[in-house]
Structure 1
Amino acid sequence: MKKGILFAFVALLSTGLFAQTTWTVDKAHSQVSFGITHMGIAEVTGLFRSFDASINTTNGLDNATYNVTIDVNSVDTGVERRDNHLRSDDFFAVEKHPELTFKSKSVKKDGENRYKVTGDLSLHGITKPVTLDVWHRGTITKDDGTQVAGFQITGEVSRQEFNIGPDFPEAALSDDVRIKVDAEFKK
């Protein structure tokens, strides 16, 4: 009897382990962008050129974990002078705080192929919980057998909560920074 219980436990454990899947970001088909309102009248957008991300799943996306690391020094708004200012101590202070990370803590289904993902965002030496909207746009199998999943992740963060640009009032730069990630992940 004890052998049967032990065998069943080992079989259940190994089934769970084999059901776990890691999806890695396809950087050539992905981008991390942001937007902020300047002077209350214009949208300024930019990208982070260097990043890494993974999604770990066990039997679907309802309990997935999301991990993202961004090299803040890779900020690119298309204007070198502005990018250098964003890297300075006035904003990101990249020499002291070179990375932005997001590690999910919970996932809540929010409609068909849509999820609310809550996790810890660490930026500028500060870690705070944020909730992002995740849209699983679909999964395909390529001719070579590789499975690819597409995601769009959106949300807003308060720059003031992360002490980004504290000397710049909302009349100059909005507090809300919009985040948009369009990404493909390979299994």
Structure 2
Amino acid sequence: MKKATIIAALLIASAATTFAQTWTADKAHSRVGFNVTHLSVTELGGTFNSIDAKLTSAKPDFTDAVVEFSADVNSINTDNEQRDTHLKSPDFFDAAKFPTLTFKSTSFKKVSDKKYKVSGNLTLKGVTKPVVLDVVLGGTSTNPMSKKEVVGFKITGTIKRSDFGVATGMPTAMLSDEVTLNAGTEFTKD
């Protein structure tokens, strides 16, 4: 009897993997950004303009989703060329040594109707730490131009730059240790 239970469990797990759908980020309709507080008075932000992301899920409610994300650190844009150059330097992201930041989810849990908590590992400046992000499902639709199914998510969260060795010589009175992450990402079903 135990053999039959094990075989059934393996078949169910195999079927879930077989029917998984892959969704790819629509880069033209996605934005990944961050905000920090400068001198304890002003919130400033930026984006990473070159990103890749994919979402794989067999369940229509995405509760089994796996998310993989990467951003080219050299694509950082704060609307100030001098600041962007400084952010790419060893003082901050050290883009020459660590050109990519990545995130891979370990769980995607539904907490209410359209709200989720996604846990995963963020790798930034060669340091990998677990993070938890809030996700809101914007909905699904069919793109009238491409006729492909799309899904949208709003993602927010907070990390500490010091946890990743970013700007460790910068006092928090000058630049907040807390960095707010925010993204609006549209995925297209492959």
Equivalent position amino acid for 1:161 in 2: D
Q: Of 137, 148, 171, which residue of structure 2 is paired with 1:169? A: 171
Equivalent in the alignment of 2:36: 36
SS of corresponding position for 2:87 = helix
The 5 Å alignment of 1:73-92 reads: 73-92=74-93
Number of residue-to-residue matches in the alignment: 182
Specify whether residues 9 and 153 from structure 1 end up closer, same or farther in structure 2 by C-alpha distance, changes over 3 A only: closer
Cα distance, 1:88–1:9 mapped onto 2, change above 3 Å: closer
Find the counterpart in structure 2 of residue 157 from structure 1. Answer: 159
Q: Distance in 2 between matches of 1:16 and 1:90?
A: 45
SS in 2 for 1:81: helix
1:147 and 1:46 mapped to 2: Cα distance?
Answer: 29
Residues 127 and 139 (structure 1 numbering): CA distance in 2 closer, same or farther, change over 3 Å?
Answer: same
In 2, the alpha carbon distance for the partners of 1:131 and 1:9 equals 29
Distance 1:12 1:107 in 2: 20
Trace 1:36-185 onto structure 2 (pairs within 5 A): 36-60=36-60, 61-143=62-144, 144-185=146-187
Q: Which runs of 5 or more residues in structure 2 are unaligned?
A: 1-7
Segment drifting more, 68-77 vs 108-117: 108-117
When the two chains are superposed, the root-mean-square deviation of aligned CA atoms in Å is: 1.9
Give how far 1:17 is off.
Answer: 4.0
Deviations 1:3-32 (A, max 9, x none): xxxxx8997576434420000000000111
d(CA) in 1 for partners of 2:156 and 2:12? 36
- Report sequence identity in percent: 44
Partner secondary structure for residue 73 of structure 1: helix
Partner Cα separation in structure 2 for residue 109 and residue 16 of structure 1: 18
User: Where does structure 1 lack aligned partners over 5 or more consecutive residues?
Assistant: 1-7
Structure 1 outlier segments of 4+, above 2 Å: 8-18, 142-145
Identify the range of structure 1 (144-153 vs 93-102) with the bigger mean alpha-carbon deviation: 144-153
Letter in 1 for 2:163: E
Aligned partner of 1:165: which letter? A
Give the structure-2-normalised TM-score: 0.90
| TM-score, with length taken from structure 1 | 0.91
Counterpart Cα distance in 1 of 2:126 and 2:135: 25
User: Which stretch has the larger CA shift, 56-65 or 121-130?
Assistant: 56-65
For the residue of structure 2 that corresponds to 1:182, the secondary structure is strand
Mark the CA change 1:167 to 1:141 in structure 2 (over 3 Å): closer, same or farther. same
Residues 146, 41 of structure 1: CA spacing in aligned structure 2 closer, same or farther, 3 A cutoff? same
Provide the C-alpha distance between the structure 2 equivalents of 1:10 and 1:164, rounded to a whole number of angstroms. 44
> Structure 1 stretch 58-67 or stretch 32-41: which is displaced more?
58-67
